[in-house]
Amino acid sequence: MNTATPDTATIEVIRKTWQERPPAANPYLHGRMTRALEAFAGKGFPTTRLENWKYTDVRKLAASYPEWLRTAPDETATPDLEPLVGPDSVRISFVDGIYRPDLSTAGDLPPGIFAGSVSELLSVEPALEDKLGKLAQDSDSAFVALNTAFAGDALAIVLPDNVELQKPIYVRFHSSTSQLGTQPRVMVELGARSRATLIEHYTSGHEAIVNSVTEIRCLENAALNYYKVQDEHTDSWHTAAQYVELARNAKLTSMHLDTGAGLARNELHVRLAGPAANADCKGLFMGSNNQHIESRINIEHAAPETQSRERFRGILADKARGVFNGRIYVEPQAQKTAAELTNRNLLLSKGAEIDTKPELEIYADDVKCAHGSSTGQLDENSLFYLMSRGIEHDEARSILVEAFAGELLGDTGIEAIARKAQQSLRALRKVEQ
Amino acid sequence: MASKQPDVKDFVDRKYEHGFFTDIEADTLAPGLNEDVIRLISKIKGEPAFMLDWRLKAFSHWQTMQEPDWAKLERDAIDYQAISYYSAPRSSADAPKSLDEVDPKLLETYDKLGIPLHERARLAGVAVDAVFDSVSVATTFKEKLAEAGVLFCSFSEAVKDHPELIERYLGTVVPHRDNFFAALNSAVFTDGSFVYIPKGVRCPMELSTYFRINAANTGQFERTLIIADEGSYVSYLEGCTAPQRDENQLHAAVVELIAEKDAEIKYSTVQNWYPGDEEGRGGIYNFVTKRGDCRGDRSKISWTQVEAGSAITWKYPSCVLRGNDSVGEFYSVAVTNNLQQADTGTKMIHIGKNTRSTIISKGISAGRAQNAYRGLVKIFPTAENARNYSQCDSLLMGNQCGAHTFPYMEIKNPTAQVAHEATTSKIADDQLFYCRQRGLREEDAVNMIVNGFCKEVFRKLPMEFAVEAQALMNVSLEGAVG
Amino acid sequence: MLIEIKNLHASVNDIEIIKGLDLDVAPGEVHAIMGPNGSGKSTLAQALAGREDYVVTEGSVSYKGQNLLDMEPDSRARAGLFLSFQYPVEIPGVSNVYLLKAALNACRKEKGETEIDAVEFMRFIKDKAKLMELDEKFLSRGVNEGFSGGEKKRNEIFQMAVLEPDLAILDETDSGLDIDALKVVANGLNAQRDGQRSFLLITHYQRLLDYIEPDYVHVLADGRIIRSGGKELALELEENGYDNILAAAS
């Protein structure tokens, strides 16, 4: 390139920040981080000229990035982290990107679960060298590359075959320092026939940058219930991507709840790599004020007789903007695939906006694929019906908004997450009124 | 059992029925594109100065533009300097006044294509403005239309006879800098059709133009402008076939529709240009910009298309729903076989209040073809109570083809209701078996089911076109099931 | 004989359903095949019509002296074998009339006859529709598209009346019909008994046989015919249920 792209300067500052950090002790890791930094520098921050970033402009985020990456974390912060799920769970906490045994129920950690620095992780589990970064490729995404380049503490859950974890694993990523950038990294592998429930919960006390990457591999017949709740400060920037690969007969059940951050973007990538793998993914995103919330799901059917169902709903109030992108991709060998995607959106106020694109890309003929999307406001007839029963207008609206979300939250599995969603809905309503 | 799976490979063996080449001496400009070429085209056409200015503006803008690459199409690069930008049949210098004056070889060509101009046009009550290469050679029914005050003529004539209408409307829907191919068209277009329906007039017959591409190395750049003044109605039909050729030919047409208050335009297309052979050699590159502007309140524009030909189809007939209560419709069947690629769909831009749009798209993919629907529904903050319904269904025949759906919805008004549904599947085994149990041969059963799949679109076509479309469909998929 | 089935074995998804079935039907005869759920009744119907998923693994079927199993499903149909489906499929956009005209002409072409002209055809099918008390509007509607269960079954018998087959296999045509619809279907069917046309009535209940008198009744259990008799066998079944007959047979 002979012309300087607008963010060349930004990239250079980020490179300098990286160089000033002490190099990773593990030579493999150091090499990986170096390559990731170059991968990022080669791409730069995405612009809205890129199809996948058409509706989300990260220029302001990019402008803050170099500075916020330099902010020092508070290693001694003792935030009051009220857990989302009850005591009957394994709790793992990261504050300002640093694993905090004191805020975790580490003693309860079953074998196979590790939390701590990535280099320590690789020395404990050298086999992970081959797996880390295999699903989330630094070359595919500038944000994944950034995450790898600045890898700090990470979480790894590696369950051998035939293990059924009874308690859900509740992972809290909290930013307590103002204007801090963190790069959470999670890696999960479930052995054949193993089962687990994982909840990732992101919060922040102040404006922060969070850029997380999660890689999940489910071997044959394994089953994972995955939840991600993002409830950060409304001046925060949150970018996240989960990459899931499912082997034969493996099953993913997931729920995404996005309510926080000023600009949030979540990507869920699921590859149905083995025959009869199955994914059932749900998501609810809601925004108010000037929030910009993007939810993306990319399902790749790569083996025969795989099935997926995706249900995503958005609720936008005030001047909030929602973006949804759902893609079903069926490879030629994935015959007898069944896939169905629905996206429904509710616009509650003038000024609210939704940009949605459900896509089908199909290269196998013996398939049944469908998608549907609808956007509208609350149904006037329903509103009138409730009011004719004596319910006040605002209350009637609330009931209908909750019902809209409720249809999705009905079988959430973890009551606390459904409750959390209802709480956010009520907050949304207050703003709206 | 005795029955076997449809052998899709066989189904792919289809020869282009309209494949031949007419040997006619053409008055052709040397390949290449520069300002001089544009000046020359304008001069040959005897255009007023405003036209030349407009062409040159378009050209200078085009030079700053890049070919769009966002469509799901793979193709060879186009060498714009290797194309000849003007070609006219020899007899064009002295344009024929009637069919008798037309070069008999041309008439022969139409006969081979199954379009006996004089006979069928009269029988069907259709006025035909046939475009051979780039110059009009025959126009019929002019008098009858003139009685109603309808202007229907070649674009060149319109520039000569009604420059005020051209100056007022040209480029107001598709500006000369709209997109790469539209800009190119604006710079070099040689002819096309012009229609003006005066206030309150219901056009007494369906208007039809058959486009052809013939001479070697000749790009085809048509420009169509249809204006329906207040309270008028017109139905316009466009059908295309092309002689078989070995090289890729570029086609970059522009169609502009303007519907004033209470006016309605129905625009139907059957496109069957040479798609290339089984190995993907040859075939037309078809990059079309079609856009309708529902300028007035309660106006309506309806696009119906059956896209069966071309190696590459890049086409998004759109409606700008500016007037309050205006209506946009898009009904499409796109068939791709062998190595054909289609990336087609529509844009419905809702600006006015209570605007409504409907999108019905049926894609059929066979052989090694790729067929994509790409659509945009955009609801502006001003478009109170806008409504859109979209339905996109894809049918796959064989396991080497692809079917894709890319609907964009951008909604900035909470009172809007936008709904999109899409399905992709193959022909259901139980449907096929049912038809065969009633005695239908497999190929007939497939044709019947495919035609049923397209019914919603076919019934929007004028009668004689619907029959042609159905026949075309069967020919297009011939051999795809054994 | 019109059709001779000898030692027929048929499987679906590699599971054997028909396990050695013998049956002869002569021209003009009406045979009822009764049996409990899962006995293989529908499998027999589908296998005879040539459905791909129903694989014949053993035995032979001779139809009009030809090897039926060698024939494509549509050749069987054109040779006069008609199946009234238990669950008729919907074919959106393809009108009933269109399908029937194409089917009729395919049969005529096979016999070396000329295609029926449109006017004659319309007159012909309107008469048949009247017979089935089928509203004319059904003719132009998509095949079974949005039809009720009863309408679908009536439409099947109507199609049979138009195509005039030599052997009609009726797969549970009575299921899902109320008594009035059942009578209409039975009348339509009886009107087509001309001493030459043969019928294979596949049914779970005796009810249909109150209106259509069979010449023979066969009880099918676990893929074989375990008892055959006259129409009185159906009444015996109605009275005693399948269990007794199955018990007696084993």
The per-residue pLDDT for range B69-94, each reduced to its tens digit, is: 888 888 888 889 888 887 664 443 44
Instruction: Determine the pLDDT at residue B318.
Output: 97
Given a cut of 80, whether residue A321 has pLDDT beyond it is yes
Rounded distance between C-alpha atoms, residue A355 and residue A377, angstroms: 15
Q: Where are the domains of chain C?
A: 3-249
**pLDDT given at position A106:** 67
Instruction: Note the pLDDT of residue A1.
Output: 36
For residue C93, give the nearest of B436, B442, B453 by CB distance.
Answer: B453
Rounded to 10 deg, the angle between the C118-131 and C96-110 helix axes is: 110
Three-state DSSP class for A428?
A: helix
Q: Is C47 on the interface with B (CB under 8 A)?
A: yes
Name the residue facing B396 among A356, A357, A365 (closest C-beta).
A365
Q: pLDDT band for position A319 (50/70/90)? A: very high
Residue B336: burial class (beta carbons within 10 Å; 0-12, 13-18, 19+):
buried
End-to-end CA distance of chain B: 16
Helices (H), ranges, B136-203: 142-148, 155-161, 163-169, 180-188
C116 touches chain B (CB under 8 A): no
**Pairwise CA distance, residues B188 & B63, whole Å:** 13
Of B433, B441, B451, the CB nearest to C106: B441
Amino acid (one-letter) located at B361 = S
* Residue in B with minimal Cα distance to C160: B438
- For tokens 């929007």, the residue is B460
CB atoms within 10 A of CB B125: 12
What does DSSP assign to residue C156? H
CB-CB neighbors (< 8 A) of C73 in chain B: 2-3, 433, 436-437
Partners of C94 on chain B (C-beta within 8 Å) are 448-449, 451-452, 455
CA distance linking residue A222 with residue A197, whole number of Å: 11
Which of the residue ranges A153-162, A262-271, A370-379 has the most confident prediction, judged by mean pLDDT? A262-271
Q: What percent of chain B has pLDDT over 70?
A: 77
Residue B88, strand partner residues: B27
Least confident window among A96-100, A120-124, A244-248 = A120-124
For all residues of chain A together, what is the average pLDDT? 91
Determine which of A127-131, A428-432, C63-67 has the lowest per-residue pLDDT on average. A428-432
Q: Chains that contact B by 3+ CB pairs under 8 Å? A: A, C
Ranking B15-19, B362-366, C133-137, C139-143 by mean pLDDT, the lowest is B15-19
Q: How far is CA A420 from CA A23, A256, A311, A428, C95, in A?
A: 40, 12, 19, 12, 53
**Which has the higher per-residue pLDDT, B71 or B130?**
B71
Question: pLDDT tens, B166-204?
Answer: 999 999 999 999 999 999 999 999 888 899 999 999 998
B14 or A29: which carries more pLDDT confidence? A29
- pLDDT for C215-242, tens place per residue? 999 999 999 999 999 988 888 888 888 8
Residue A153 has what pLDDT?
A: 86
Q: Which residues of B touch C (CB under 8 A)?
A: 1-5, 428-431, 433-442, 444-445, 448-449, 451-456
How far, in Å, CA of B102 to CA of B107, rounded? 7
A320 touches chain B (CB under 8 A): no
pLDDT of residue B225: 96
Q: What is the predicted pLDDT for the residue at A431?
A: 56
Q: Which residues of A touch B415 (CB under 8 A)?
A: 377
The mean predicted confidence, pLDDT, of chain C is: 90
pLDDT at B160 (0 to 100)? 92
pLDDT tens, A57-83? 999 999 999 999 989 888 888 888 888
pLDDT band at B111 (very low <50, low <70, confident <90, very high): low
pLDDT at site B140: 53
Contact C93 B452 (CB under 8 A): yes
Is pLDDT of B215 > 70? Answer: no
Distance of alpha carbon C234 from alpha carbon C216, whole angstroms:
9
Alpha carbon A73 to its chain centroid, in Å, reads 22
Q: In terms of residues, how long is chain A? A: 433
Q: Which CATH number fits domain C3-249: 3.40.50.300, 3.30.1360.100, 3.40.718.10, 3.40.50.2000?
A: 3.40.50.300
Q: Is the pLDDT assigned to residue B10 strictly greater than 70?
A: no
Q: Which of A200-209, A323-332, B133-142 has the lowest mean pLDDT?
A: B133-142
- Cβ–Cβ under 8 Å, residues A215 and A132: yes
**pLDDT for B262 beyond 90:** yes
Report pLDDT digits (tens) over B386-419. 999 999 999 999 889 999 999 999 999 999 999 9
| CB of C165 less than 8 A from some CB of B | no
Answer with the residue of higher pLDDT: C80 or B7: C80
Sort C145 into a burial class: Cβ within 10 Å, 0-12 / 13-18 / 19+. Answer: middle
pLDDT: which is higher, A107 or A62: A62
Say what the alpha-carbon torsion angle A372, A378, A380, A382 is, to the nearest 10 degrees: 90
Mean pLDDT of A122-146: 88
| C180 vs C189: CA distance, rounded Å | 14
Question: Would the CB atoms of A359 and B406 count as touching at under 8 Å?
Answer: yes
Residues of B within 8 A of C8 (CB-CB) are: none
Is the pLDDT at B113 greater than 60? The verdict is: no
CB contact under 8 A, C103 and B440: yes
E strand or H helix at C15: strand C15-25
Average pLDDT, chain B: 81
Averaged pLDDT, B454-470: 82
Of C56, C74, C89, the CB nearest to B431: C89
Residue spans per domain, chain A: 8-426
Q: Are C212 and C189 in contact (CB under 8 A)?
A: yes
**Chain A residues inside the 8 Å CB shell of B425:** 367-369
Q: Give me the pLDDT at residue B92, please.
A: 39
3-state class of B255 per DSSP? strand
What's the pLDDT score for residue C201? 94
pLDDT band at B9 (very low <50, low <70, confident <90, very high): very low
Listed in sequence order, the residues at least 6 apart from A20 whose beta carbon sits closer than 8 Å to its beta carbon are none
pLDDT digits over A387-425, tens only?
888 788 888 888 889 889 988 887 777 888 888 888 888
Mutate to test the interface with B, among C56, C91, C104 (most CBs of B within 10 A): C91
